[in-house]
Amino acid sequence: MQTAIGILMILAGIAGAVFMMKKAERRAASAPPAEPIRPVPIEEAVEALNRKLKEDPGARLSVELYGLARTDLPAVAPVTERPAACYKTVSYSCREKSGGQRRGFRSASNLEQTEEYRESGPDDFYIMDSTSDEKIYVDLESFGDRAELLSACDSYEEKNSKWMDRHLKSCRRFFPRLGSDIAGYHVLEYFYHVNQPLNIAGDLYRHARRYRIAASSGKKRSLVTYKSEEQAQKVLQKSRLTAVGLGLIAVVVGIGVIIAGFR
C-alpha cells in the first residue's frame, strides 16, 4: 500500500512540475522572447509601410517598435483615479460557491464571480519615439492577454466594507447588480501611465489616415509589454525553478514513503 502511495506521489510530482513548466512557457507569449527585441525606429517603419502601400493599399508590415505611451485626450483610470495613457477596469460581483458558506478567510478566489462591468480607454492611445512626429495608434484589444499592463488595483471588498462606503457613487457605476446573496466585489484595474516605455510587436497598417499597430495573424510574434527583456526572463526563470523544486520535493517524499514500506 505504501509503495503504491509513494509511486502516486512521484507521478503527481512529475505531472505537477510538467504542468507548471508548460504554464510558465505559455506566459512567454506575453513577454519578450529569449533573443533581444530589436525594434526599428518609427520613422523607418512608416517609410517601409508606405512603400508597400504603393503596391497594395491593404498592406501590413510585421514590425517591432519601441515608444512612449501617449494620448491626445486626458484620461483618468476610474477606480484609482490615476492619470493614464490607457486603462482597463473590470469588476465582478462575488457569491458563495454552491454547497454552503465556506469557512475561514473569504477572498475572490474562493467565490463565484460574475463580471458586471468592463471599461477601457481612451480610443486614441498611441506611442511615439524621437525619430518621427507620427503617432502609432495601438489596437490594444487585438492583443488580448498578450498585452501586459501595469496593475493599479486588484482588490476584493466585502459588500459593506469601508472602501465601498467611501466609493459608493462610483461603486453604483461599477456594480449595477445588487442582491442579498452577494458577498462582495472584486475590482481589477490596469493601466499604462503617460510616457510609459513600451515594446510592441505586431502588424503596422494604415486606416482612416492613421498608422496603427495590431496583433499579428498566424504564428508571428505579437506582444505589448512594459517589461525589459531582463525582467521578463527573470520571471520565467523563477517559474521554471519553482516547478522543478516542487516536483523534486514530491519525488523525494514519494521515494521516502516507498522505502519506509519495505522496513
Mean pLDDT for the chain overall: 78
- Angstrom distance (rounded) from CA 100 to CA 126: 48
117: phi then psi, degrees, rounded to nearest 5: -155, 140
Q: What is the pLDDT of residue 148?
A: 92
CB-based contacts of 121, cutoff 8 Å, min separation 6 = 75, 86, 87
Residue scoring higher pLDDT (22 or 103): 22
Q: Give the pLDDT band of residue 161 (cuts 50, 70, 90).
A: confident
Q: Give the pLDDT band of residue 117 (cuts 50, 70, 90).
A: confident
Q: What percent of the chain has pLDDT over 90?
A: 38
Q: Give the pLDDT band of residue 142 (cuts 50, 70, 90).
A: very high
pTM higher than 0.75 for the full model?
Answer: no
Q: Give the pLDDT band of residue 112 (cuts 50, 70, 90).
A: confident
CB-based contacts of 14, cutoff 8 Å, min separation 6 = 247, 250, 251
Q: Give the pLDDT band of residue 162 (cuts 50, 70, 90).
A: confident
pLDDT digits (tens, 9 = 90+) for 166-184: 665 566 666 655 566 788 8
Closest by CA to 17, choosing from 9, 5, 27, is: 9
Tell me the mean pLDDT in the region 117-128.
91
